[in-house]
């Protein structure tokens, strides 16, 4: 079975957390891209997509040069580079998202999108839907902490039941 590293995109535009929404939007338009990866120094901390701009930035009713990507970016949904494409499809469907950040440990390598998975491996939307509907049990989801953006939320369980998710770095719980 194909691995995520075999189909992921590595040529993803990168911006700093202090980049304005206007600047990031211009970059996306110039490249014909639907998103950029947001970095704090050398660490990937989130992403800004065209969808996120519509849902988080537009309602602010502010000038795009006055708002930084840090204020409207979304957290990463993480997948390891050596994970199967089947696991990637499963995570995308469960979370209702269109892309996953591909990591090797804490190092950002690129991202894999629903379109990457659909076009490369399955050959069409009907096959994708069929594959997902007849898939095995879902894998656990890894989500970047929305507060500190430096740790991935961990499941806290009691007697096999999930009671909350907690960040190991800052202690934030949901």
The span from the CA of 50 to the CA of 28, in Å, is 8
- Domain containing residue 37: CATH number: 3.10.580.10
Residue 87 sits in the same domain as residue 149: no
Residue 166 sits in the same domain as residue 102: no
Of 156 and 124, the one with more pLDDT = 156
H-run or E-run covering 119: none
- Number of structural domains found in the chain: 2
Residue 48 sits in the same domain as residue 131: yes
> Residue 83 is encoded by which pair of tokens?
């994970």
Residue 30 sits in the same domain as residue 9: yes
For β-strands 154-158 and 107-113, DSSP reports them as unpaired
Dihedral pair phi/psi, residue 62, rounded to 5° = -125, 165
Residue 31 sits in the same domain as residue 99: yes
pLDDT tens digits, 94-126: 888 889 999 998 899 999 998 888 764 444 445
Residue 130 sits in the same domain as residue 48: yes
Residue 148 sits in the same domain as residue 132: no
The span from the CA of 131 to the CA of 93, in Å, is 11
Average pLDDT, the chain: 84
Residue 32 sits in the same domain as residue 79: yes
Q: What percent of the chain has pLDDT over 90?
A: 46
The span from the CA of 130 to the CA of 125, in Å, is 9
User: Are 13 and 108 within 8 A, CB to CB?
Assistant: no
Residue 138 sits in the same domain as residue 160: no
- 150 pLDDT band, cuts 50/70/90, is confident
Single pTM value for the model = 0.67
Domain around 171: 144-174
Residue 12 sits in the same domain as residue 63: yes
User: Are 46 and 143 within 8 A, CB to CB?
Assistant: no
Residue 59 sits in the same domain as residue 131: yes
Residue 80 sits in the same domain as residue 137: yes
């Amino acid at each position: 079975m194909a691995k995520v590293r075999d189909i992921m995109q590595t040529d993803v535009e990168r911006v700093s957390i202090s980049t304005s929404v206007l600047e990031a939007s211009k970059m996306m338009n110039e490249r014909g891209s639907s998103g950029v990866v947001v970095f704090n120094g050398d660490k990937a901390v989130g992403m800004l997509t065209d969808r996120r701009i519509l849902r988080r930035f537009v309602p602010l009713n502010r000038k795009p040069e006055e708002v930084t990507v840090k204020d409207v970016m979304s957290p990463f949904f993480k997948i390891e580079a050596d994970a199967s494409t089947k696991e990637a499809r499963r995570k995308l469907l469960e979370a209702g998202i269109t892309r996953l950040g591909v990591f090797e440990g804490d190092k950002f390598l690129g991202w894999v999108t629903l379109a990457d998975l659909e076009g490369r491996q399955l050959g069409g939307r009907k096959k994708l839907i069929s594959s997902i509907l007849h898939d095995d049990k879902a894998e656990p989801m890894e989500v970047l902490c929305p507060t500190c953006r430096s740790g991935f939320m961990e499941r806290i369980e009691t007697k096999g039941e999930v009671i909350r998710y907690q960040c190991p770095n800052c202690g934030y719980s949901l």
